[in-house]
Structure 1
């Protein structure tokens, strides 16, 4: 079936006035629905200069064409066709807000860089060949960074999600049934897209790699704005519980590290400088041979210092050593007396 002026009239949701020409009528219509008509080519849309909404899904369209005169278009539905490449949208569609392209044959997201008002984009379930995955054009995503808010990419064999970090305004992202392996890229994505409130990663390897509660906790902690994860709401009480649990874990870890450091310090204090080379100039000489009374004096001094400086002895045993020279001098003084 071809798109003709008569076809456009039939597909319009409005009615032509009695004495109104077809051309005049087509200029003022705002909605056209040509669903399931086996249409192959988008043509003659230049008659509909005031078109706001165009339904062309469930057809056989392979290329997006003929929209040059549809400057008022806000919603375009082209799902369930045979489109392989996103083209024909760089024709001044500044008001286009909703674009449905799911269930086509698109291999790469591109051609959307001149759609400044695009907020809703559906690209799920592309009919890809075995081994293929939906890929992203970085410049295209960067152009959508300030506008795109709702993105659906379900079932596209996607492995690398790092390009999506450019979409800073995203609020809802559906990545279910893809090939995401690790949680770290998801955490990075959630941190980069600070407006995300709804995320779905069900059906990915990462969702089946371990207990679901662990993945849920990690993703909740990665995004303070997340309110729904994997089709389940995140109540405030759950977020508070997860955050408190993280705080408790960090406190225990900090206390453990502190105790470990303290134990090491105590061990060093008890063992002195064992295992650490001491400069030759600082090495203490062995006690010289002293008479019995001098040895007793030395032991008394050491005993008193030990009682008065127990804390310092634990930190640095070297501070508790009595210089042999001082002991010898004291012994000689006693001997003279």
Structure 2
């Protein structure tokens, strides 16, 4: 570990800080020491080269998790993190978000620039206010019509028809901002 990385983790441990910033440190793995910081409420690991996130599964008090701009494919370690409210996972290699099913406390989720094609798990995110699913491989977004609290939604750059987008958006009565240009008109 680099001196900077050790210093950030040790300071967080000694002072029992609720937030740890390990973003932009060129990490390819999350240090095992992070697993013992079980009091953390927020952690940023964005802008690294991380592909495996199993170390995070013990951080059940997390409310905010930032993992954008990494190489993540598997979200199953996040299954136990049911207190998360803010989740940033843009620019990864994610296809399957089903491990996040039932995470009803989620309020803001950013998943742009991934490879997601099934969003049924989103239907269980009953507190959701903000959702970014831009530039994925979505073909069916009907599950979104049940999100009665959603205020901001981005479905741009997905292979969705205008009609499909319109049918979904029409049922979202609290929606204030919608971005939805289609990558492939059907």
Which of 106, 117, 130 lines up with 1:118 in the alignment? Answer: 106
Matched, 1:56 2:45: yes
C-alpha displacement of 1:81: 0.7
Q: Distance in 2 between matches of 1:193 and 1:117?
A: 19
Instruction: Give the root-mean-square deviation of aligned CA atoms.
Output: 2.7
1:109–1:135 Cα contact (<8 Å) kept: no
C-alpha displacement of 1:189: 0.8
Residue equivalent to 1:220? none
Please give the TM-score of this superposition, normalised by the length of structure 2.
0.84
Residue equivalent to 1:99? 87
Structure 2: 5+ residue stretches without partners: none
Which of 165, 168, 179 lines up with 1:200 in the alignment? Answer: 179
Q: Would you say how many aligned residue pairs link Structure 1 and Structure 2?
A: 185
If each structure's helix is expressed as a fraction of its own residues, which one has the higher value? 1
Q: Distance in 2 between matches of 1:44 and 1:115?
A: 26
Alignment of 1:21-40 (within 5 A): 25=14, 28-40=16-28
Residue equivalent to 1:188? 167
Structure 1: 5+ residue stretches without partners: 17-22, 129-133, 210-337
1:179–1:204 Cα contact (<8 Å) kept: yes
Alignment of 1:1-337 (within 5 A): 7=5, 9-10=7-8, 25=14, 28-42=16-30, 43-91=32-80, 93-126=81-114, 128=115, 134-138=116-120, 140-144=121-125, 146-183=126-163, 185-205=164-184
Larger Cα Rg: Structure 1 or Structure 2?
1
Pair 64,71 (structure 1): closer, same or farther in 2 beyond 3 Å: same
1:29–1:48 Cα contact (<8 Å) kept: no
Q: Distance in 1 between matches of 2:69 and 2:111?
A: 11
